[in-house]
Amino acid sequence: MSSELFSDQLESPVGTVRVIAGPAGVRRVGWQLKAGDAATSGRDPTLGAALRQLREYFAGERQVFELPMDLVGLVGSTRTVLLTLVATVGYGQTISYGELAARSGSGVPARAIGSIMGANPLPLIIPCHRVVAHDGLGGYSGGDPGCGLETKRRLLELEGAMPPTLPL
């Protein structure tokens, strides 16, 4: 199997999202990824599927991503917590940092869950925006620079997990 990676991007309601993928699966999703993070700018079946499914998600037509994930480098409790999130917190749902810590059985304390969410290589596909503080949104490192919490709020509104913000 080829280890070559491909990249492309799509415009979304929460900014320009870049995807890096190859035959082993989707490797990276993010807002501040650079084209040079991937070997080739071009087409790959996995990359094409990821872009299509992300467009469907943003259009409100997809609730579950059906993509292989290339989680190279993720081991131990980080991998366990992220896979628990994917498997147990669905579209339109939220979970607190503490609840995810307990549910994962990883032994990671609640205060460290935020760091794991910040290290998530596949935001949106691994829905770290669904992890919230027990008393509010918590943090979010996704989105355009300086727009993390706004991006998190917009994603949760898109999924119906919180009411839309009223315009001023």
* Selection from 85, 157, 155 nearest residue 120 by Cα: 85
Give the tokens for residue 18.
Answer: 């870049």
Greatest CA separation for the chain = 53
Taking each helix axis from N to C terminus, what angle separates 97-104 and 110-118, rounded to the nearest 10 degrees? Answer: 90
Dist. CA 140–CA 48, nearest whole Å: 27
Helix (H) or strand (E) holding 15: strand 15-22
Helices (H), the chain: 45-58, 76-88, 97-104, 110-118, 148-158
Q: Are 27 and 70 in contact (CB under 8 A)?
A: yes
To the query of whether residue 128 is one of the catalytic residues in this protein, the response is yes
Q: Are 145 and 52 in contact (CB under 8 A)?
A: no
Pairing of strands 131-132, 40-41: unpaired
- Selecting among 113, 128, 131, 155, the annotated active-site residue is 128
Q: Which residues are known catalytic residues? A: 128
